Structure 1
Amino acid sequence: MTHPIASSESGVEYLKLPVPQSEGGMSLLTALRQRCSTRRFAPRSLDDSLLSSLLWAAFGINRPEAGLRTAPSARNWQEIDLYLALRDGLYVLEAADWRLRLVSGEDLRAATGLQDYVAEAPLNLVYVSRLSMLDETDKSVRQFYTALDTGYISQNVYLFCAASGLATVARGLLDRRTLAAAMRLAPDQRVILAQSVGYPA
């Protein structure tokens, strides 16, 4: 990232994202044909405009009047938070204000998975469920819905990457407890999945 407009509210740092591209691009059928998992990444970072468009495709707001998103969620809980592990720190997307909130200035990319390449990927998305937003008490049902909703978002990322010449791979092999501690997650938050993104090597 090249750090867009930075602001501070009550000591919290925010990075305002550029307006995302939400029209044009590759056809859906072509993107589906090119969609694949890639595990080798060039070190080059995504610029702010591309990152903003990626995040919008993943789980941005596409119907502002109702606050609805580009990916569905069960009962419109919108319980999945998108965290970004970048070279210069860990951020979380705040879609309503279209900005990133700095969580930690540490490079936590290596902590987002057990494979060697995760430390080299310029961006690792971490999908985190906030269980307090679900009005469902049965644990197995909560797990089903959070996994389902994460899958929708992850596939949006796959299709955006295919259409934009980016490489990506979704990853379930990670130490969730250690990662949650490194990310300073709240007790009601659970790490569901991680996904590496970057330019192909």
Structure 2
Amino acid sequence: MNTLTKMALGLLGQLKPEPAVGDAASTMHLPPVRLTGGMPLMQALAQRQSLREFDPAPLPEQMLSDLLWAAAGINRVALGGRTAPSAMNAQEVDVYVALPAGLYRYAATTHTLDLVSAIDARRVTGYQDFVEDAPLDLVFVADYSRMKLVPAAQRESYASAAAGAMAQNVYLYCASTGLATVIRAWINRGALAQAMGLNNDQQVLLSQTVGRPKAAAAR
């Protein structure tokens, strides 16, 4: 679906997710994270870029596991510390994963994907046409109910900073492994929040598309 069609449907309140493709497991148990290998940090920073053409082939489960851990996984088990910072350790940003078979929320403590809804929400994660063809779209959602110690006027900026750190982790992982990714803020947030079943304390901050690069885009 092209951008103009999505915008028109959004204005009419008709931008909806697609039916799920295949059966959605209620919980996806991800393989243990690989903590070795990959590209040196400075080299990954040199390779970091945004690409907007994606191969639709699904990512292997191991790659999905490593990607999500890089975004928001636990790297200090004794403290429950994460790979991305959070003010006052509120951990207010959830990472949702829009897959063809369903919309999932990443649970860092169990390193699982928990089913939110058996829909294909990729179409609604942004106005760009490539979002529904890529194998997955990440959606970063703030839950302000976890930020009681943060003044209300500062909650969105704190959560946005945390989401940005997560997105950069994804960029570096993708650079290190040869994946393509692009972060996006051009979103019909009302339509996406409705499709995701978010409540009044939750806010869509950003989306990020991930997949293998198309050959033409990788030149």
Q: Give, in angstroms, the shift of residue 177 of structure 1.
A: 1.1
Tell me how far apart the structure 1 counterparts of residues 34 and 198 of structure 2 sit (CA, whole Å): 30
| CA deviation map 1:57-79 (0-9, x unaligned) | 11100001111100111111111
Aligned to 1:49: 62
Q: Secondary structure at the match of 1:128?
A: strand
Q: Give the partner amino acid of 2:36.
A: E
Q: Does 1:33 align with 2:34?
A: no
Contact kept in structure 2, 1:71 and 1:156, CA below 8 Å: yes
User: What's the offset of the Cα at 1:24?
Assistant: 2.3
Cα shift at 1:137: 5.8
1:102 is displaced (CA, Å) by: 0.6
Instruction: Give the Cα–Cα distance (whole angstroms) in 1 for the partners of residues 68 and 155 of structure 2.
Output: 24
The range that moved more, 124-133 or 23-32, is: 23-32
Deviations 1:27-75 (A, max 9, x none): 0000000000000001111111000000011110000111110011111
**Larger radius of gyration between Structure 1 and Structure 2:** 2
Percent sequence identity over matched residues?
A: 49
Partner of 1:89: 102
Residue of structure 2 aligned with 1:196, choices 186, 206, 209:
209
Q: How big is each residue's C-alpha offset from its partner over 1:127-169, in whole Å with a ceiling of 9 and x where there is no partner?
A: 0001000024644311110110001000000000000000000
Amino acid in the other structure paired with 1:143: E
How many residues are matched? 191
- Given residue 172 of structure 1, which amino acid in structure 2 is its aligned partner? A
Taking the aligned partners of 2:155 and 2:59, their CA distance within structure 1 comes to 33
- For residue 25 of structure 1, give the secondary structure of its aligned residue in structure 2: coil
Match of 1:9 in 2: none
Give the CA RMSD over aligned residues.
Answer: 1.3
Aligned amino acid, residue 87 of structure 1: P
Q: Give the Cα–Cα distance (whole angstroms) in 2 for the partners of residues 126 and 59 of structure 1.
A: 12
Q: Distance in 2 between matches of 1:136 and 1:170?
A: 29
User: 1:137, 1:19 → 2: CA distance?
Assistant: 34
Aligned to 2:217: none
Which one-letter code corresponds to 2:110 in the other structure? D
* Matched residue, 2:145: 132
Look up the match of 1:112: 125
**What TM-score, normalized to structure 1?**
0.92
Aligned-partner Cα distance in 2 for 1:96–1:175: 30
Note the residue ranges of structure 1 that are not aligned, 5 or more in a row: 7-12
Are positions 1:148 and 2:161 aligned together?
yes
- Tell me how far apart the structure 1 counterparts of residues 90 and 66 of structure 2 sit (CA, whole Å): 23
Asked if structure 2 preserves the Cα contact closer than 8 Å seen for 1:165 and 1:199, the reply is yes
CA distance in 1 between counterparts of 2:179 and 2:120 reads 21
Runs of 4+ in 1 over 4 A off after TM superposition: none
Scaled by the length of structure 2, the TM-score of the pair is 0.84
AA paired with 2:183? Answer: A
Counterparts of 2:57 and 2:195, CA distance in 1 = 25
Among residues 8, 33, 36, which one is paired with 1:23 in the alignment? 36
